């Protein structure tokens, strides 16, 4: 078969060379092949149909609205709004599609960063305006290249250099040449502007030149940029084993908005090593990272595994180029094996499922924004999709399980929501039917700037129902092994209980006589005004009244607040029926909370949506008695050990058992409850709470030992009594 070059194909198809490369990298041109870093295209190849949502007159000179919004870290809706407001000025194609001159956007970005244009400085593009930041937690604390990369970012800011994808790749190419030269002690190692010398063929990295070439879209443009920005190419980088320096540059320069839109949260060395340390790898076992990013998980693998058994894949082409360089640096592997083992495919739709791996590791994308066409394909192929929205890490888990050998391990870093949020019930069903969980680590917030509790989960594929026996669970306070066989439901995975805690929960759940608020209470959200600044005042007037936030609620009582509102139900964005707020008696509770915090109200106070409402309707069960149960250590023990949530959901409240007891016993409990509602201070407050709690423990027939187990779990946290 005859082949033509990228340049020849670009002329034949009348598109840019860069577009040809992208089409090759995504297998859009039938029969294309890559040899020694050079793409070869069959001479009779047909130009692929352009599947992009719209076209621009010349992609080398113009950007689509979506591309502009990605550049500015704003949503498409915000972009359209800015056009209406005259903040963005587009040009139009003959088909009336919106597009922008690249020169215009380049100038606009520069003026935003310099502060010359203030009209676009808003919360929505705050990260873009503030420039690029060192993602230093990604590498180890002792990484010796951190000062150099800090200097790089400072020079970029000082010289007002616009960071495009091409520019990022130039910087990475220069760093990679330094690292290769430093590791192999080449004579030119340590010299300045190595990239320009490489482009001028004044030096070579040997067999890995093609990996550097892959980062350069246009040699002449790269030479010109190097000459114009000499300062950022006169930095000296040192090779450090197990440190992803190239990845650190990439993610520090890559805009945060782009990272979030693709669900990319790059995993620190600390977390990667915590995951890797769980396994005793063998030389002949194959390892895959299907979403390898820049290759940090693969860099941390023990040296016992030869590169012949290591595989990586990612949908981001630049990340794949960096991973190949990282593998060259670590393993000195043959370039053809690197090209074969590190691939740029969509793992969910185009990856080879015939291959089986002993270990699949990594951090799959969270909240990836799939196109409508992708959603159609995924819904037809994945059982873990059960509603309109598709969570990317759910389908990654399902796909990875298909790629595992029997007895193989899947270990991912994931949001803790996988364990207990309703949207993930389908993937939990798949796990229940075919896997056992060997390790489960609760990490807390593991990523800089991301408020999302995370876990490391190690699933062993057994093609048999889940067994809890032997599961090792760890959190910041404890490590324990589950040695009992437990009944597990896909409704939520609750594995943060030791065997003695689990036994105690079962006892509480199985008390002789209990009732529940499920189907026996009215629930309501607090008011959503739609604009708190407009509707809420700090000044009391004759026409407004107090409105509560969640932070105004303590256990049993409401704290004074200075938030006031004029109650006009028709003006608010979302509101419950008025009678819920004006009920003769009701319980208010904090919605965002790691604690169950309920207060009593008989003054018909209003509340915002951080402070929700429940009105019990249990016959012969007093509302204040229910209040005492919900605020008890027993209820908190259930909430923490079964749900481990920071949002108090209706389903959580409905599942708390309320012991059925006679009126006299209720009255004794209510007598103490009234004191707490009225308000106490200091030692009296905590003494009465302990007295009340002891009475409630008696209702559950708990021994002193069992009560101490509960106290050890819940008393480390704020009780929200004051």
**Per-residue model confidence (pLDDT) at position 71:** 74
Instruction: Tell me how far apart the alpha carbons of residues 555 and 720 are, in angstroms, rounded to a whole number.
Output: 6
pLDDT band at 253 (very low <50, low <70, confident <90, very high): confident
- CB 264, CB 295: distance < 8 Å: no
Residue 586, classed as helix, strand or coil, is strand
Residue 483: which residues within 8 A CB-CB, separation 6 or more?
A: 469, 470, 499
Q: Which of 112-116, 154-158, 211-215, 474-478 has the lowest mean pLDDT?
A: 112-116
Burial letters for 625-639: b for 16+ Cβ neighbours within 10 Å, e otherwise?
bbbbbbbbbbbbbbb
Instruction: Tell me how far apart the alpha carbons of residues 297 and 283 are, in angstroms, rounded to a whole number.
Output: 17
Q: Which of 86-90, 284-288, 705-709, 715-719 has the lowest mean pLDDT?
A: 86-90
**Per-residue model confidence (pLDDT) at position 408:** 97
pLDDT at 43 over 50: yes
Instruction: Tell me how far apart the alpha carbons of residues 368 and 377 are, in angstroms, rounded to a whole number.
Output: 15
- The DSSP bridge partners found for residue 1 are none
- CB 721, CB 685: distance < 8 Å: yes
**Per-residue model confidence (pLDDT) at position 129:** 38
- CB 512, CB 610: distance < 8 Å: no
Instruction: Tell me how far apart the alpha carbons of residues 207 and 332 are, in angstroms, rounded to a whole number.
Output: 10
**Per-residue model confidence (pLDDT) at position 53:** 45
Number of continuous H segments (helices) and E segments (strands) in the chain: 30, 25
pLDDT band at 223 (very low <50, low <70, confident <90, very high): very high
**Per-residue model confidence (pLDDT) at position 52:** 47
Number of other residues whose CB lies within 10 A of the CB of residue 534 = 9
The residue whose two tokens read 């990439």 is: 250
- CB 366, CB 392: distance < 8 Å: yes
Instruction: Tell me how far apart the alpha carbons of residues 310 and 286 are, in angstroms, rounded to a whole number.
Output: 6
Which helix (H) or strand (E) element contains residue 82? helix 76-84
Tokens of 645: 């949530």
Instruction: Tell me how far apart the alpha carbons of residues 420 and 442 are, in angstroms, rounded to a whole number.
Output: 13
Residue, of 86 and 512, whose pLDDT is higher? 512
- CB 721, CB 555: distance < 8 Å: yes
**Per-residue model confidence (pLDDT) at position 93:** 45
Instruction: Tell me how far apart the alpha carbons of residues 650 and 665 are, in angstroms, rounded to a whole number.
Output: 27
Among candidate residues 276, 301, 293, 306, the one with its CA nearest the CA of residue 342? 293
Residue 232: which residues within 8 A CB-CB, separation 6 or more?
A: 152, 155, 156, 159, 161, 171
**Per-residue model confidence (pLDDT) at position 131:** 47
- Give the CATH number of domain 514-714: 3.90.220.10
Per-residue pLDDT of 51-82, as tens digits, reads: 444 455 666 788 888 788 877 767 676 777 77
Q: Which of 46-50, 315-319, 515-519, 624-628 has the lowest mean pLDDT?
A: 46-50
Residue, of 432 and 101, whose pLDDT is higher? 432
**Per-residue model confidence (pLDDT) at position 663:** 96
- CB 660, CB 515: distance < 8 Å: yes
- CB 325, CB 294: distance < 8 Å: no
Per-residue pLDDT of 672-695, as tens digits, reads: 999 999 988 888 999 999 999 999
**Cα 365 vs. chain centroid, distance in angstroms?**
7
Task: Indicate if the alpha-carbon torsion angle 355, 356, 358, 359 is positive or negative.
Answer: positive
Residue 647: which residues within 8 A CB-CB, separation 6 or more?
A: 591, 592, 593
pLDDT band at 130 (very low <50, low <70, confident <90, very high): very low
**Per-residue model confidence (pLDDT) at position 124:** 40
The residue whose two tokens read 């707020």 is: 581
pLDDT at 166 over 70: yes
Task: Tell me the angle at which helices 663-678 and 623-630 cross, rounded to the nearest 10 degrees.
Answer: 70
**Per-residue model confidence (pLDDT) at position 51:** 44
Establish how many alpha carbons lie within 13 A of residue 630's alpha carbon, considering only the half-sphere containing its beta carbon: 30
Number of other residues whose CB lies within 10 A of the CB of residue 57 = 12
- What is the DSSP code (8-state) at residue 639? I
**Per-residue model confidence (pLDDT) at position 144:** 94
pLDDT at 273 over 50: yes
Among candidate residues 139, 135, 134, the one with its CA nearest the CA of residue 152? 134
The residue whose two tokens read 């759910």 is: 394
**Per-residue model confidence (pLDDT) at position 217:** 92
The residue whose two tokens read 């069903």 is: 429
**Per-residue model confidence (pLDDT) at position 11:** 86
**Cα 646 vs. chain centroid, distance in angstroms?**
16
Number of other residues whose CB lies within 10 A of the CB of residue 606 = 19
DSSP, residue by residue, 42-66: ETTPPPPP--SS---S-TTTEEEHH
**Per-residue model confidence (pLDDT) at position 113:** 58
Which helix (H) or strand (E) element contains residue 331? helix 317-331
Q: Which of 70-74, 333-337, 541-545 has the lowest mean pLDDT?
A: 70-74
DSSP, residue by residue, 593-624: -SS--EEEE-S--EEBTTEEEEEE--TT--HH
- Give the CATH number of domain 267-496: 3.40.50.150
Among candidate residues 564, 559, 514, the one with its CA nearest the CA of residue 536? 564
Instruction: Tell me how far apart the alpha carbons of residues 359 and 357 are, in angstroms, rounded to a whole number.
Output: 5
**Per-residue model confidence (pLDDT) at position 17:** 81
- CB 3, CB 37: distance < 8 Å: no
The residue whose two tokens read 């499922």 is: 353
Question: How much of the chain is helix, strand and coil, in % rounded to 5?
Answer: 40, 15, 40
- The DSSP bridge partners found for residue 313 are 343
pLDDT at 664 over 90: yes
Tell me how far CA of residue 299 lies from CA of 69, 118, 276, 340, in angstroms: 34, 43, 11, 17
Number of other residues whose CB lies within 10 A of the CB of residue 721 = 16
Instruction: Tell me how far apart the alpha carbons of residues 187 and 138 are, in angstroms, rounded to a whole number.
Output: 31
**Cα 479 vs. chain centroid, distance in angstroms?**
25
The residue whose two tokens read 């004579």 is: 187
Long-range contacts of 8-16 (CB under 8 A, 24+ apart): 8/41, 9/41, 9/45, 12/47, 13/47, 15/47, 15/59, 16/59, 16/60
**Per-residue model confidence (pLDDT) at position 138:** 87
pLDDT more than 70, % of the chain: 90
pLDDT at 715 over 60: yes
pLDDT at 117 over 90: no
Tell me how far CA of residue 578 lies from CA of 136, 188, 582, in angstroms: 51, 78, 6
Quote the pTM value. 0.76
Burial letters for 324-344: b for 16+ Cβ neighbours within 10 Å, e otherwise?
bbbbbbbbebebeebbebbbb
Helical ranges in 161-218 per DSSP H: 165-184, 194-199, 209-213
**Per-residue model confidence (pLDDT) at position 645:** 86
Per-residue pLDDT of 188-214, as tens digits, reads: 988 889 999 999 999 999 999 999 999
Work out the mean pLDDT of the chain and round it to a whole number.
89
Q: Where are the domains of the chain?
A: 1-51, 136-254, 267-496, 514-714
- CB 484, CB 500: distance < 8 Å: no
Residue 217, classed as helix, strand or coil, is coil
Residue, of 134 and 299, whose pLDDT is higher? 299
Residue 350, classed as helix, strand or coil, is coil
Tell me how far CA of residue 98 lies from CA of 89, 105, 153, 242, in angstroms: 10, 14, 33, 45
């Amino acid at each position: 078969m005859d082949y033509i070059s990228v340049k020849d194909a670009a002329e034949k198809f009348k598109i840019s060379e860069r577009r040809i490369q992208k089409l090759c990298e995504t297998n859009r041109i039938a029969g294309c092949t890559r040899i020694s870093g050079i793409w070869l295209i069959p001479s009779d190849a047909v130009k692929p149909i352009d599947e992009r949502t719209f076209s621009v007159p010349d992609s080398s000179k113009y950007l689509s609205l979506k591309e502009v919004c990605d550049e500015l870290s704003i949503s498409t809706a915000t972009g359209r709004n800015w056009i209406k407001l005259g903040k963005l000025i587009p040009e139009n194609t003959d088909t009336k599609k919106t597009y922008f001159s690249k020169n215009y956007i380049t100038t606009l970005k520069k003026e935003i960063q310099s502060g010359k244009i203030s009209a676009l400085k808003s919360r929505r593009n705050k990260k873009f305006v503030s420039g690029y930041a060192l993602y230093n937690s990604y590498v180890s604390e002792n990484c010796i290249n951190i000062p150099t990369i800090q200097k790089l970012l400072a020079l970029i800011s000082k010289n007002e250099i616009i960071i495009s994808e091409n520019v990022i790749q130039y910087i990475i190419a220069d760093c990679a040449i330094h690292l290769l030269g430093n590791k192999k002690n080449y004579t030119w190692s340590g010299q300045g502007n190595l990239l320009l010398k490489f482009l001028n063929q004044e030096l070579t990295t040997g067999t890995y030149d093609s990996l550097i070439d892959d980062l350069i879209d246009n040699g002449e443009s790269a030479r010109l940029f190097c000459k114009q920005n000499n300062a950022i190419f006169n930095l000296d980088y040192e090779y450090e084993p197990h440190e992803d320096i190239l990845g650190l540059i990439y993610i520090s320069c890559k805009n945060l908005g782009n990272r979030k839109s693709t669900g990319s949260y790059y995993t620190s060395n600390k977390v990667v090593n915590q995951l890797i340390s769980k396994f005793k790898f063998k030389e002949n076992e194959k390892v895959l990272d299907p979403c390898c990013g820049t290759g940090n998980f693969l860099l941390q693998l023990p040296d016992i595994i030869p590169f012949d058994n290591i595989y990586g894949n990612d949908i981001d082409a630049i990340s794949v180029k960096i991973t190949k360089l990282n593998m060259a640096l670590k393993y000195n592997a043959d370039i053809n094996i690197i090209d074969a083992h590190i691939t740029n495919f969509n793992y969910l739709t185009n990856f080879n499922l015939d291959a089986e791996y002993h270990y699949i590791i990594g951090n799959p994308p969270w909240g990836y924004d799939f196109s409508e066409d992708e959603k159609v394909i995924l819904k037809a192929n994945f059982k873990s999709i059960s509603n309109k929205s598709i969570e990317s890490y759910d389908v990654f888990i399902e796909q990875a399980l298909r790629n595992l050998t029997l007895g193989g391990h899947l270990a991912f870093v994931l949001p803790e929501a996988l364990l207990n949020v309703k949207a993930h019930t389908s993937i939990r069903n798949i796990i229940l039917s075919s896997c056992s969980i060997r390790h489960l680590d609760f990490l807390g917030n593991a990523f800089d700037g991301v408020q999302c509790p995370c876990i490391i989960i190690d699933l062993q594929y057994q093609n048999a129902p889940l067994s809890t026996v032997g599961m090792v669970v760890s959190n910041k306070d404890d490590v324990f092994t589950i040695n009992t066989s437990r009944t597990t439901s896909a409704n939520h995975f609750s594995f943060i209980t030791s065997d003695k805690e689990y036994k105690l929960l079962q006892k509480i759940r199985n008390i002789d006589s209990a009732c529940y608020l499920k189907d026996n209470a009215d629930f309501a959200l607090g008011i959503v005004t739609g604009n708190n600044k407009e509707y809420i005042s700090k000044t009391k007037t004759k026409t407004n009244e107090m409105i509560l936030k969640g932070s105004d609620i303590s256990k049993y009582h409401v704290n004074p607040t200075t938030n006031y509102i004029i109650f006009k139900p028709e003006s608010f964005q979302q509101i419950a029926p008025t009678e819920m707020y004006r009920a003769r008696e009701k319980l208010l509770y904090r919605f965002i909370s790691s604690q169950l915090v309920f207060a009593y109200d008989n003054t018909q106070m209003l509340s915002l949506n951080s402070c929700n409402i429940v009105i019990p309707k249990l016959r012969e069960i007093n509302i204040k008695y229910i209040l005492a149960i919900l605020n008890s250590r027993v209820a908190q023990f259930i909430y923490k050990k079964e749900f481990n949530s920071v949002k108090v959901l209706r389903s959580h409240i409905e599942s708390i058992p309320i012991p059925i007891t006679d009126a006299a016993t209720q009255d004794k409990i209510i007598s103490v409850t009234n004191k707490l509602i009225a308000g106490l201070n200091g030692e009296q407050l905590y003494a009465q709470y302990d007295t009340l709690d002891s009475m409630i423990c008696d209702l559950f027939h708990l021994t002193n030992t069992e009560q101490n187990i509960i106290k050890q779990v819940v008393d480390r946290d704020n009780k929200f009594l004051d």
